[in-house]
Structure 1
Amino acid sequence: MTIKRRFTTAALATALATLLAGCATTPQGPLSSAPVAPYADTLETDGRLSVNYLRAGKQESISGKFSWRQSAARTDVTLASPLGQTIATIAVTPGEATLKEGSKPPRSAADVDTLSAQVLGWPLPVSGLRDWLQGYAVAADGKRVAVSPAQPKITTRDGWQLEFVSWQEGVTPPKPRRIDASRGAIGDIDSIDIRIVIDGAAAQ
């Protein structure tokens, strides 16, 4: 069962309205050309997701919350409904990713992005998010590069078009606040747009 199937139509409409209101950005001051903070292997953060994708000519929309914990050798993600009910947990270690959805037995695969698409019904780019949440991305040439408020757009090596729409206020060096990610066909999905809002982050 995907996250979408757990939401009623009315609840989803309310959740999306609430999420989009929270995602609205306020005007920022002059753009900074300062780079983001140095990349950190350890990161803890929480936030919200809004996902829209097209499959077989049908538009699908889902939303929810996420909790993110990463170290140099492990990533743990918890996906929850807008009301905070845990929907799925993902654990990524070298060479293996495990996703557990509700009371179902856990499923494992070598590639976490493929696994998330198979189980959730849409691709959650966990591998990319290790960089994105800190203002970095792996560019088309395979190099990890930093974005900035003055240069907020980049296309990744695996085809995601990223725009770092807003940044956390009063934080120096800059840290992302909202990230919009989109890409064309992937698997059986014709196109997908993901809006990521970071509610707080702590790098160690």
Structure 2
Amino acid sequence: MPKKLLPLAALCLALSACTTLPFTAGQPSSSQAVAPYRDQVDLSGRLNVVYQKNDKPESATVNFTWQQTAQRTDVTLFSPVGSTLATIAVTPQEAVLEQSGKPPRSAPDVDTLSARLLGWSLPVSGLRDWLQGHAVGDDGKRFVASPQNDHVTTRDGWRLRYVSWQDGSDTTPGAVPQPRRIDAERNASAQADAVSLRIVLDPVPATTAP
């Protein structure tokens, strides 16, 4: 290469190195946090769980619907082919779990109840926050997720990571990011077995900032 072209080539390489990478689907460019917490939500999605049973790792994949109000949470779990596996109703007084062909079972603690009947723990009280991108950290402070602040360890020992997002920011100015995939993991302790969850939420209409 002629000497007089060397500075030009070096400049081109420097500019190409500084070029912004293409936008990756599911990772919104917005640094905005998720919307404020709502008592009433209606969601659906898919849940994969890995847990221990008889000291051996087991896994299951279910579809679910989630209906939440200030005083009640209703969860329905479906098999991949659409049959109902269980329904769970949680109020401040009790949790009731029903399975086809079996009498309803109730307990004050839904985590313990689901672990006993399903084989794995479904942390409904935590999910009321997590599905919206909120949690209480192990420092007792309120955590609000964003694409740039996407992980936290909760006060009850769950490690959460917001892996991907749905926000519509490429088409809706001011759109607020909403969780798309959430990974949650808890180590074994004297009170509970180890379990990890992968939650993928179905798309919902984009929320626009006020």
Query: Is TM-score (shorter-chain normalized) higher than 0.5?
Result: yes
Q: Which moved more, 1:26-35 or 1:172-181?
A: 26-35
Tell me which of the two structures has the higher relative contact order, counting C-alpha pairs closer than 8 angstroms and 6 or more residues apart.
1
Structure 1 residue 179 and structure 2 residue 182: aligned? yes
Q: Which moved more, 1:27-36 or 1:48-57?
A: 27-36
Displacement, 1:115? 1.1
Displacement, 1:160? 0.5
Alignment partner, residue 196 of structure 2: 193
Q: CA 1:202–1:117 in structure 2 vs 1: closer, same or farther (change >3 Å)?
A: farther
Structure 1 residue 87 and structure 2 residue 82: aligned? no
Q: CA 1:95–1:62 in structure 2 vs 1: closer, same or farther (change >3 Å)?
A: same
Select the structure of larger CA radius of gyration.
2
Q: CA 1:113–1:62 in structure 2 vs 1: closer, same or farther (change >3 Å)?
A: same
Is contact 1:36-1:147 (8 Å) kept? yes
Alignment partner, residue 136 of structure 2: 138
Alignment partner, residue 110 of structure 1: 108
Q: TM-score, normalised by structure 2?
A: 0.78
Is contact 2:167-2:176 (8 Å) kept? no
Opposite residue 176 of structure 1, the aligned amino acid is: P
Q: Which moved more, 1:170-179 or 1:76-85?
A: 170-179
Distance 1:110 1:77 in 2: 16
**Long gaps (5+) in structure 2:** 1-23, 170-174
Q: CA 1:185–1:173 in structure 2 vs 1: closer, same or farther (change >3 Å)?
A: same
Distance 1:138 1:188 in 2: 19
Displacement, 1:188? 5.9
**Long gaps (5+) in structure 1:** 1-25
What is the aligned length? 178
Distance 1:96 1:201 in 2: 30
Distance 1:202 1:45 in 2: 11
* Matched position secondary structure for 1:200: coil
Displacement, 1:202? 7.0
Identity of aligned residues (%): 58
Distance 1:150 1:56 in 2: 39
Opposite residue 60 of structure 1, the aligned amino acid is: E
Displacement, 1:52? 1.1
Alignment partner, residue 10 of structure 1: none
Opposite residue 121 of structure 2, the aligned amino acid is: P
Q: CA 1:93–1:132 in structure 2 vs 1: closer, same or farther (change >3 Å)?
A: same
Alignment partner, residue 6 of structure 1: none
Displacement, 1:146? 0.6
Is contact 1:96-1:108 (8 Å) kept? yes
Distance 1:201 1:28 in 2: 14
Displacement, 1:175? 0.4
Distance 1:122 1:29 in 2: 30
Alignment partner, residue 8 of structure 2: none
Distance 1:151 1:169 in 2: 15
For 1:124-154, what per-residue CA distance to the aligned partner results, in whole angstroms no more than 9, with x for missing partners? 1111110011001111133332111101000
For 1:23-53, what per-residue CA distance to the aligned partner results, in whole angstroms no more than 9, with x for missing partners? xxx6455643211101000000100011112
Distance 1:91 1:144 in 2: 26
